[in-house]
């Protein structure tokens, strides 16, 4: 049951130490809004620690699946969800009124971009209004969605304080950015250090107490804006460095130098170098999007972000560079053009070993190839069919082909490796198709038919 707090919205002083003690005893109720790639791992982590967890989602199919003990994410096994449900300490709901029940509410909703590449905080705003309608004294609200510095205090706080309750006195507000890496079995929620920021002493105390009980180590920072900036910095760092190696790939390629060999050799230096790897473009919900949150906010301060924007331009151009590489390879090796060429595309998920298509460069590449007249089929063991997407509506309904390498040479002129899932036999692929364009160096260990392979 939730902690007993003063009734009404004109609450008296809240004893922060009472809630902190309940959190420390794993007696608090945790509510998680958004049961996706961030919310489900958080629910599992909080449940494993002993908390009672309520998962909130606007998708009734997802709510029904979770309450039936089924995962909605391929990287999370059904048995983990069923064990959590069967414990009696987890349930999923789509009812906003239930948001009054948790002592701690974590907001894990999408923060995409608009068509004009500006921040879309509609999900955060809608969730904040839903929480406000049931907000009671003594609750801790933590935003985890990646966003620009100032969102917690400029967007979430005013919506919640419109109830008459005051942050830091009646309810408590913090920001702690998610650090999930879907498909990475080496790291899970509770062992990844958690950055935690709040704007008043009480909120910081409670947020630190909660996340200390959830994860092995926390990294307290001075404010929510600082914590928001930490998350953006992490992903912009990756974006810029990936752009750098993508540019080096093109430079060294013209010189006849294998950039992957260069990176492997440079990585032997024990200090001052961190390897990043080129690819067909950026995908997922973080790296292609987060830099634009900062560049948009920076304009309010009249600060240029030329370096960040240039990195975005380089990475955004990569899918078309891949299409050009395929066109050149077909012409040089087979005297064929893209128009009429039969191409097998390997991998459409945005990264290896996940069932996530968000911002996937493979969809851009497929659209470009089809627009050029190519007959494109795909193989991806994680994506049985391409769903409807806003940016690529014409690709919806395309289905993954059956893996039959003995027949590939009859049907395909070339193969294009875009996402390097594990469990795919790339030696079979190279042995069955006499032209393979590889954007991920997935064929590096294939010895036979090396002349068949072009790195792009």
Active site residue ranges = 286
Please report, for residues 110, 233, 306, 444, the alpha-carbon distance to residue 244 in angstroms, rounded to integers and kept in the order given: 28, 16, 14, 22
Rounded Cα–Cα distance for residues 392 and 378 (Å)? 15
Residues near 83 by beta carbon (within 8 Å), at least 6 away in sequence? none
Burial (CB < 10 A; 0-12, 13-18, 19+), residue 4, is exposed
Q: Are strands 104-107 and 453-455 parallel, antiparallel or unpaired?
A: unpaired
Neighbours of 373 (CB within 10 A): 11
Burial (CB < 10 A; 0-12, 13-18, 19+), residue 434, is middle
Rounded Cα–Cα distance for residues 236 and 232 (Å)? 6
Helix (H, G, I), strand (E, B) or coil at 334: helix
Please report, for residues 116, 154, 202, the alpha-carbon distance to residue 199 in angstroms, rounded to integers and kept in the order given: 31, 12, 9
End-to-end CA distance of the chain: 57
CB distance 385 to 397 below 8 Å: yes
Rounded Cα–Cα distance for residues 355 and 335 (Å)? 36
Helix (H) or strand (E) holding 249: helix 224-254
CB distance 80 to 44 below 8 Å: yes
DSSP symbols for 230-241:
HHHHHHHHHHHH
Residues near 131 by beta carbon (within 8 Å), at least 6 away in sequence? 33, 99, 105, 107, 141, 160
Helix (H) or strand (E) holding 62: helix 60-67
Read off φ and ψ for residue 174, nearest 5 degrees: -150, 170
Q: Are strands 172-175 and 194-198 parallel, antiparallel or unpaired?
A: antiparallel
Please report, for residues 237, 254, 334, 375, the alpha-carbon distance to residue 241 in angstroms, rounded to integers and kept in the order given: 6, 20, 35, 34
């Amino acid at each position: 049951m939730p902690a007993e707090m003063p009734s009404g919205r004109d609450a008296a002083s809240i004893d922060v130490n009472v809630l902190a003690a309940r959190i420390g005893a794993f007696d608090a109720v945790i509510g998680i809004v958004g049961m996706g790639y961030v919310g489900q791992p958080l629910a599992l982590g909080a449940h494993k620690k002993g908390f009672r967890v309520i998962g909130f989602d606007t998708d009734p199919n997802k709510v029904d699946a979770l309450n039936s003990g089924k995962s909605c994410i391929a990287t999370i096994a059904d048995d983990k969800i069923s064990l959590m449900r069967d414990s009696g300490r987890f349930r999923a709901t789509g009812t906003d009124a239930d948001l009054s029940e948790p002592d701690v509410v974590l907001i894990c909703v999408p923060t995409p971009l608009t068509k004009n590449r500006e921040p879309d905080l509609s999900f955060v705003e809608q969730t904040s209004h839903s929480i406000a309608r049931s907000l009671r004294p003594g609750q801790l609200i933590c935003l985890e969605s990646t966003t620009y510095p100032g969102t917690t205090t400029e967007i979430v706080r005013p919506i919640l304080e419109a109830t008459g309750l005051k942050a830091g006195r009646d309810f408590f507000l913090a920001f702690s950015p998610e650090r999930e890496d879907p498909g990475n079995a080496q790291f899970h929620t509770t062992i990844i250090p958690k950055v935690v920021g709040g704007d008043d002493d009480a909120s910081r105390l409670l947020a630190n107490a909660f996340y200390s009980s959830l994860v092995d180590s926390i990294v307290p920072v001075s404010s929510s804006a600082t914590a928001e900036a930490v998350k953006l910095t992490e992903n912009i760092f990756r974006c810029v460095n990936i752009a750098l190696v993508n540019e080096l790939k093109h430079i060294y390629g013209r010189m006849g130098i294998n950039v992957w060999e260069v990176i492997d050799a440079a990585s032997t230096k024990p200090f001052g170098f961190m390897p990043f790897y080129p690819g067909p473009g950026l995908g997922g919900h973080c790296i292609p999007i987060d830099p634009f949150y900062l560049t948009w906010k920076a304009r309010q301060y009249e600060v240029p972000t030329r370096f960040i924007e240039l990195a975005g331009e380089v990475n955004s151009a990569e899918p078309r560079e891949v299409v050009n590489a395929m066109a050149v390879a077909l012409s040089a090796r087979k005297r064929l053009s893209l128009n009429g060429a039969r191409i097998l595309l390997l991998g459409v998920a945005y990264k290896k070993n996940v069932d996530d298509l968000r911002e996937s460069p493979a969809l851009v590449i497929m659209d470009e190839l089809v627009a050029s007249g190519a007959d494109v089929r795909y193989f991806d063991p994680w994506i049985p069919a391409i769903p409807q997407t806003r940016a690529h509506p014409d690709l919806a309904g395309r289905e993954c082909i059956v893996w039959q390498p003995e027949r590939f040479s009859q049907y395909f002129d070339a193969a294009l490796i875009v996402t390097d899932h594990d469990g795919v036999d790339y030696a079979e692929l190279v042995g069955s198709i006499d032209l393979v364009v590889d954007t991920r160096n997935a064929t590096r260990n294939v010895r036979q038919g090396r002349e068949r392979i072009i790195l792009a």
